[in-house]
């Protein structure tokens, strides 16, 4: 399959960004699936998030859904600020080739160092979803630092993990290292799509990537500026696990539970 990363910068209004990213997702040659970054319509304008957040009822009718249906591709439409009865969540959404909302999950861990908890409430994990004959799942940006969450999803059957992100360029190598770690420890594909350009004085610059279940970064090819395609074979998950199966070799009875203070019981 051909998997596309759309790593453009934020430029203009939320509606303008939604259209730009959705159009880039389906630039010829049209891929099988396209992935967009975290908060690609708004970025982290935290003081305005509550007014920019969309309603849950509108998610199914966004331009990304139309683009997916018109071009018969999967669009992992990054994440969006979404209003709920409890507050605003940072929600990842996925549209099927029929243009139907196929999956949603929310950012579980908020990055308090930049004040994300002022604008959002912690989200709920959405589990897994059927994806091109296998099982997909998603986490958002900072969630990548918490292997417990990714491990739970891998144990639930996920074989490809999508990670929309706004990871600053100065920590890009860490982002890519964590993508590789999550891929190698669970023997799954990991797909990190990072915001491009500069936003609020911070350089992001794209630079995400796709990691093979064997732990190596896959080389992509440029389509247009900020858009790159990667060829993957989802059957490689089973192939790698037939040689070494890390999940099968787990011994959770020896791991215990770590309490605050470092004591293991």
What's the mean per-residue pLDDT of the chain? Answer: 96
More confident residue, 264 or 18: 18
Does residue 238 lie within any of the structural domains?
A: yes
Which residues form the domain of 160? 2-249
Per-residue pLDDT band for 140 (boundaries 50, 70, 90) equals very high
Does residue 255 lie within any of the structural domains?
A: no
Q: How far is CA 12 from CA 18, 24, 43, 105, 193, in A?
A: 10, 16, 11, 26, 20
**The pLDDT of residue 40 is above 60:** yes
Alpha-carbon distance 169 to 96, whole Å? 31
Alpha-carbon distance 83 to 68, whole Å? 23
Does residue 263 lie within any of the structural domains?
A: no
pLDDT for the residue numbered 264:
57
What percentage of residues in the chain have a pLDDT greater than 90? 95
The set of catalytic residues is 38, 107, 141
- 68, 66, 156: which is closest to 105 by C-alpha? 156
pLDDT tens digit sequence for 108-128: 999 998 889 999 999 999 999
Does residue 261 lie within any of the structural domains?
A: no
Alpha-carbon distance 59 to 63, whole Å? 9
Alpha-carbon distance 107 to 142, whole Å? 8
The count of domains in the chain is 1
Provide the 3-class DSSP secondary structure of residue 264. strand
Does residue 132 lie within any of the structural domains?
A: yes
- Count CB atoms within 10 A of the CB of residue 90: 29
Provide the 3-class DSSP secondary structure of residue 77. strand
Does residue 264 lie within any of the structural domains?
A: no
**The pLDDT of residue 71 is above 90:** yes
Does residue 224 lie within any of the structural domains?
A: yes
pLDDT for the residue numbered 137:
98
Counting beta carbons within 10 angstroms of the beta carbon of residue 219, is it exposed (0 to 12), middle (13 to 18) or buried (19 or more)? Answer: exposed
| Domain harbouring 29, CATH code | 3.60.110.10
pLDDT for the residue numbered 149:
97
- Strand 134-138 and strand 128-131: the pairing is antiparallel
Q: Are 189 and 232 in contact (CB under 8 A)?
A: yes
The runs of H, that is alpha helices, within 156-259 are: 172-186, 236-243
Decide: pTM greater than 0.75. Answer: yes
pLDDT for the residue numbered 257:
75
Provide the 3-class DSSP secondary structure of residue 6. strand
Does residue 258 lie within any of the structural domains?
A: no
Q: Are 93 and 116 in contact (CB under 8 A)?
A: no
pLDDT for the residue numbered 114:
86
Alpha-carbon distance 156 to 59, whole Å? 26
Q: Are 55 and 10 in contact (CB under 8 A)?
A: no
pLDDT for the residue numbered 90:
98
């Amino acid at each position: 399959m051909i998997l596309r990363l759309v790593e453009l910068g934020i430029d203009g209004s939320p509606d303008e960004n939604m259209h730009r990213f959705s159009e880039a997702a389906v630039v010829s040659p049209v891929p099988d699936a396209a992935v967009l970054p975290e908060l690609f319509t708004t970025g982290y304008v935290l003081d305005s998030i509550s007014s920019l957040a969309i309603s849950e009822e509108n998610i199914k009718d966004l331009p990304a859904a139309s683009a997916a249906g018109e071009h018969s591709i999967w669009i992992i439409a990054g994440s969006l600020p979404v209003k709920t009865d409890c507050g605003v969540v940072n929600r990842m959404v996925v549209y099927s080739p029929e243009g139907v909302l196929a999956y949603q999950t929310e950012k579980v861990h908020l990055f308090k160092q930049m004040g994300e908890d002022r604008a959002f409430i912690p989200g709920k994990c959405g589990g897994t979803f059927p994806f091109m004959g296998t099982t997909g799942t998603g986490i958002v940006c900072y969630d990548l630092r918490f292997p417990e969450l990714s491990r739970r999803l891998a144990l639930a059957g996920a074989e490809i993990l999508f990670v929309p992100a706004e990871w600053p360029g100065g920590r890009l190598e860490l982002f890519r290292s964590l993508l590789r770690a999550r891929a190698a420890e669970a023997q799954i594909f990991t797909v990190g799509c990072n915001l491009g350009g500069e936003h609020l004085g911070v350089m992001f610059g794209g630079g995400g990537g796709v990691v093979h279940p064997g732990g190596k970064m896959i080389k992509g090819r440029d389509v247009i500026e900020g858009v790159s395609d990667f060829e993957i074979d989802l059957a490689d998950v089973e192939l790698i696990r037939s040689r070494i199966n890390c999940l099968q070799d787990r011994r959770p009875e020896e791991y215990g539970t770590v309490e605050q203070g470092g004591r293991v019981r």
